[in-house]
Structure 1
């Protein structure tokens, strides 16, 4: 794996444009449901599955992805917004070559950025010439503008819920706002910290019933992560559970979730709104259109 200093020197295969990056945003209506643990372990499980993956922390004021992985950043997104460094300077190399872009913790002004600044951060990823297959975005909890923008800019959104009434209620509120204000029409639901598979499916069905009645959005059940003492131990060790205890129940669940995520249809081109890695989507869409154009094919 290359160091951050060398990464932009890596040429794309055969001199062609970089392929699209599958961007997965992880969000929750309320805090305390294990959203960041899901983000960290999903990203690591994707790496284990052979996906070159970047984990982006966008909990801009209370970030902790770097802490959960035992990393010590020199620069964070706060430094990018302050003009002290470029986005590529924040890159950290984590376990097994996982790339991490850390945010700042205890910086209240980072929670007060303007909507244009959130969009600017999304656009900044066009400048990252990384050989990536996937990016996992760990969002703040709730329905702030940053959460809505970063979810809108991803191809897939995972909403994490646990077995608490407030978690389900707030998850519905998040899905409603994403659907009505940002045009998100498909959401993956992940039940976390459940006692068994039946409990996880019941949580999803509660959310699906009310969403089907009032919202124009399709919910898919991504699966459940069991309550697991090994996961708690991994968090204390500042490691992903898929690394620390790969055979435990929660690690197996994350591997299964990553396998399902790998089966989702890859983006074929831009959707027309704000999106991460837009230039790659545009280039890929143009290439696909050229390949499918019978006149161009005949001339070639």
Structure 2
């Protein structure tokens, strides 16, 4: 990157933020493989949090195959690709979605976006420290797998949610992702959502299957069960309408399940300080730590 590259900002060089700005709870939603429904979970979780009065930002961090804007029926003028190229600032990228959710769209079909260097991923995380918005939550929809992009965004969040479904490859790849996050990025806590299940019992069994493997081979990682989202034709209809199911069909089984998960998430306390590694909104975390 050139010396004046937009992603080479230093988050510690920004001026102090207004006192009304407080630490943002950042939740990364990820999955060991594609097709487990993590983007639907991310979108509906963000909208549900906003419905509960939480000021929420939704970032599409699937940098090469983005589709958050498509699921919400939005037409971005700028994306993260424009931000990285220096054609705009972060504020220019922001869109407003349902319930006032702020959306940061990525680009789809640009291979170079999926091949950013580790330093560029860290630079992208740092850019958010300069965002002059009062927020309660940031939901980050990562790509699937164990690429540097996924690992960095999960590391930079306070909470990582792994979405799994009932198929062997999903469980195997989820375990592989958790293993790499623990061994290479130091994560010791992961939340799990069982998606597209036939009933709540299936969701719990799916979680327990993953938890047993992690307990046996990754004893230093704590898994927490956030809940299950059922297989639901209403969700499929909402996707076709390019609307979140919690808005299009709030009484549907999948909408009720995601709303329950959002209620649990909404009770999580904001972080008390920076952890000392790559992290979203680090300036606000440092100020909170100093104030504490």
For the residue of structure 1 that corresponds to 2:27, the secondary structure is strand
Match of 1:220 among 221, 224, 236: 224
2:247 corresponds to 1:243: yes
Q: Is the 8 A contact 2:20 2:134 kept in 1?
A: no
SS in 2 for 1:51: coil
Partner of 1:186: 189
Structure 2 counterpart of 1:97: 100
Alpha-carbon distance in structure 2 between the residues aligned to 1:265 and 1:220 = 16
Superposed CA deviations along residues 87-124 of structure 1, whole A, max 9, x for unmatched, are 11100011121100000000011111100000000000
Structure 1 match to 2:36: 33
- Is 1:273 paired with 2:277? yes
Structure 1 partner of 2:13:
none
Q: Secondary structure at the match of 1:140?
A: strand
- Equivalent residues of 1:77, 1:104 under 8 A apart: yes
The CA deviation at 1:266 is 2.1
Gaps of 5+ in 1: 1-11, 289-300
Alpha-carbon distance between aligned partners in 2 of 1:229 and 1:142, rounded to the nearest angstrom:
27
1:134 equivalenced with 2:137 (yes/no): yes
Provide the rounded CA distance (Å) in 2 between the counterparts of 1:136 and 1:249. Answer: 22
Q: Match of 1:52?
A: 55
Query: What is the CA-CA distance between 1:264 and the residue it aligns to?
Result: 2.1
In the alignment of these two chains, the number of paired residues is 276
Q: Is the 8 A contact 1:59 1:138 kept in 2?
A: yes
Q: TM-score, normalised by structure 1?
A: 0.91
Flag the structure with larger Rg.
1
* Corresponding residue for residue 5 of structure 1: none
Aligned to 1:229: 233
1:72 aligns with 2:75: yes
Q: In the alignment, is the contact (CA less than 8 A) between 2:31 and 2:144 conserved in 1?
A: yes
Distance 2:274 2:253 in 1: 37
Q: Aligned-pair RMSD on alpha carbons?
A: 1.1
Measure, in 2, the Cα distance between the counterparts of 1:201 and 1:266. 27
